[in-house]
Chain A
Amino acid sequence: MKILALDSSGLVASVAYLEDGKIKGLININYQKTHSQTLLPMLDEMVKTLEIDLNDIDYLACANGPGSFTGLRIGVATIKGLGLSIGKEIVDVSTLEALALNWPGAEGIVIPIMDARRSQVYAAGYSFEGNSAKPVTVIEPVNCELSVLLEKLNAMGKKVFFTGDGVPVYKDMIAQSLKVDYALPNAANAYQNAANVAALAEIFANEGLAKKAADISPVYLRKPQAEREREAMQGTN
């Protein structure tokens, strides 16, 4: 199975190419330039280097959120446009679930946290069971105060493996409030990585979860500010 995957949900722009369980190509860029300028040239560079014929691809894949609203849309719009032009289906995976593959086989709970500003995070919890490479969701993806998440983790009592761009932002708060053992990521497994997206997409494609390009939509986990304010006003009326 051949999968072309991308992730631009956070600071990193990442593209990967997977062929039958092997990552053959991966480019990760963590640089200030906007993803709209870097993502497609990176994809093109990888396609050329690996001499990929886009018509031979079986599936496209992308991280569908949560993440930076704009970053997510650049990635999702790119994959939807590509899906339409080459006529391939898309496997969209949770950004958080893909991040969980930064700690494959961890004995405990893998907690990806993404900075959602205002002392909030996008987070979820995953475990790996038996010999399976597929993460099992133990905490559903959520947008919450970090403190709420840490209380929950204290109550669960298992070792926690953190990853994601929320880690450098909140590591002091974690050190202060978390009572259970935990591990922080190193430079190599701290961020999004399209290889994880491709690996998960291969599992999901085999489960028949690929969708038409038109049916792919980002999962934001947070409503637009104007919508929240409008609902709050209606609630008080």
Chain B
Amino acid sequence: MADINILAIESSCDETAAAVVRNGREVLSNVIYSQIDLHTLYGGVVPEIASRKHIDKINQVVEKAITDSGMQLKDMDAIAVTYGPGLVGPLLVGVSFAKALAYGANLPIIGVHHIEGHICANYIANKELEPPFMCLIVSGGHTHLVKVADFGKYEILGKTEDDAAGEAFDKVARAIGLGYPGGPKIDRVSKSGNPEAIKFPRAKVGGSEYDFSFSGLKSAVLNYLNTASMNNETIVTEDVAASFQQAVIDVLVGHSMEALNQYGFKKFAIAGGVASNSGLREAFENACKERDIEFFLPPPILCTDNAAMIGSAAYFEYISGVRHGLDLNAVPNLKLGERV
């Protein structure tokens, strides 16, 4: 079969990214322009500022992705773009740009679900990985436990009822003075803290068995900080960070292992920005080893938002015949597995 080369664009949050991916597994180029320094000034992503940055950078990023791939635009088989979920302003820049690029080059356009992209980062990292398997996606905006029944076929087993895991990291990091972005900062200071120092709650929720909740944990951390400061007790930032991170890891690992057991999967993968958390990676590695489960995880560069993962997801859409029209719109609350 002839090679399928896809130029993919991702702009759903604060990274302007483009990549060329061959046959869904081989990354020919992967360009990411991160706006994080800009948003750090505001303690989080400001959608209007992100949108403005995307439109100023998108040509440079896409041109570099094409050049780095050693190919030309006309050699591509399709253009892919994230069309949801995400921030509507940023999404619209990528979608409008990608559609016009495809139109001018007379190529098909394929809209891709952002979270499905995160899952597919595992196909790039592990060339042998094939469904069925289970995947936990943890990022600043999402916490999903997903059954990957086949390429492009997904079923949500559990999701967060309130804050995403990454959101909880950001909020707790702000409260203990570490600042934004919370995930990497908490991960770093946790290494010198005691994860057993403070017993924070591991929330059980009323909905689906595998749903998550992190707002209670976040409140517990805030209460602990308030009480400690009222009683003039010394707050050991490292211990708070480590104990909080341990509580998040326990819930994520616990739910995942229970679900793996119930559904009988022998393969488990993680994805999303929080999947680059070193404590989380280690905990999952150990838990999977104990249960003789094959564990897959992408390298950190494919965990945070990138377009290579979108190019991978688009390949499996492409070979199953999915094509979008020139009226493709951004869908900020696009559901996993949904095709709009």
- Chain A interface residues toward B at CB < 8 A: 34, 36-41, 43-44, 54, 69-70, 73-86, 213-214, 217-218, 220, 224-227, 230
In the complex, the answer to whether A81 meets B92 with C-beta atoms within 8 Å is no
CA distance A224 to B58 in the complex (A): 19
A79-B100, A226-B42 known, 13 other contacts, Cβ within 8 Å: A39-B96, A41-B325, A44-B103, A73-B55, A77-B55, A77-B93, A77-B96, A78-B99, A80-B58, A80-B97, A81-B96, A217-B56, A225-B48
In the complex, the answer to whether A40 meets B104 with C-beta atoms within 8 Å is no
Contact of A224 among B46, B73, B92, B100 (CB under 8 A): B46
Q: What residues of chain B lie closer than 8 Å to A230, measured between beta carbons? A: 41-42
What are 23 inter-chain pairs, A to B, with CB distance below 8 A? Answer: A36-B95, A36-B328, A40-B96, A41-B327, A69-B48, A69-B51, A70-B51, A75-B96, A77-B92, A77-B100, A80-B59, A80-B97, A81-B98, A81-B100, A81-B101, A82-B100, A84-B62, A84-B63, A85-B101, A217-B56, A224-B48, A226-B46, A227-B49
CA distance A120 to B58 in the complex (A): 31
In the complex, the answer to whether B51 meets A73 with C-beta atoms within 8 Å is yes
CA distance A34 to B103 in the complex (A): 19
Q: Which of B48, B56, B98, B100 has the most CB of A within 10 A?
A: B100
In the complex, the answer to whether B99 meets A40 with C-beta atoms within 8 Å is yes
CA distance A74 to B100 in the complex (A): 10
Tell me whether B326 is interfacial, beta carbon within 8 Å. Answer: yes
Q: What residues of chain B lie closer than 8 Å to A224, measured between beta carbons? A: 46, 48-49, 52
Contact of B55 among A34, A43, A218 (CB under 8 A): A218
Shortest CB distance B42–A (Å): 6
Number of CB contacts from chain A to chain B under 8 A: 110
Tell me whether B330 is interfacial, beta carbon within 8 Å. Answer: yes
Shortest CB distance B93–A (Å): 5
CA distance A73 to B89 in the complex (A): 8
CA distance A44 to B325 in the complex (A): 11
Q: What residues of chain A lie closer than 8 Å to B60, measured between beta carbons? A: 214
In the complex, the answer to whether A77 meets B58 with C-beta atoms within 8 Å is yes
CA distance A79 to B326 in the complex (A): 14
Tell me the count of chain B residues lying within 8 A, CB to CB, of chain A. 37
In the complex, the answer to whether A82 meets B55 with C-beta atoms within 8 Å is no
Q: What residues of chain A lie closer than 8 Å to B88, measured between beta carbons? A: 70
Tell me whether B69 is interfacial, beta carbon within 8 Å. Answer: no
In the complex, the answer to whether A78 meets B92 with C-beta atoms within 8 Å is no
Closest to A54 in B: B104
Q: What residues of chain A lie closer than 8 Å to B58, measured between beta carbons? A: 77, 80-81
Tell me whether B105 is interfacial, beta carbon within 8 Å. Answer: yes
Shortest CB distance B218–A (Å): 23
- Chain B interface residues toward A at CB < 8 A: 41-42, 46, 48-49, 51-52, 55-56, 58-60, 62-63, 73, 88-89, 92-105, 325-330
Q: Which of A81, A85, A224 has the most CB of B within 10 A?
A: A81
In the complex, the answer to whether B330 meets A36 with C-beta atoms within 8 Å is yes
Q: What residues of chain A lie closer than 8 Å to B59, measured between beta carbons? A: 80, 83-84, 213-214
CA distance A75 to B97 in the complex (A): 9
In the complex, the answer to whether A73 meets B101 with C-beta atoms within 8 Å is no
Q: What residues of chain B lie closer than 8 Å to A43, measured between beta carbons? A: 103
In the complex, the answer to whether A73 meets B93 with C-beta atoms within 8 Å is yes
In the complex, the answer to whether A37 meets B89 with C-beta atoms within 8 Å is no
CA distance A114 to B46 in the complex (A): 25
In the complex, the answer to whether A74 meets B92 with C-beta atoms within 8 Å is yes
CA distance A38 to B96 in the complex (A): 11
Q: Which of B60, B95, B104 has the most CB of A within 10 A?
A: B104
Q: What residues of chain A lie closer than 8 Å to B48, measured between beta carbons? A: 69, 224-226
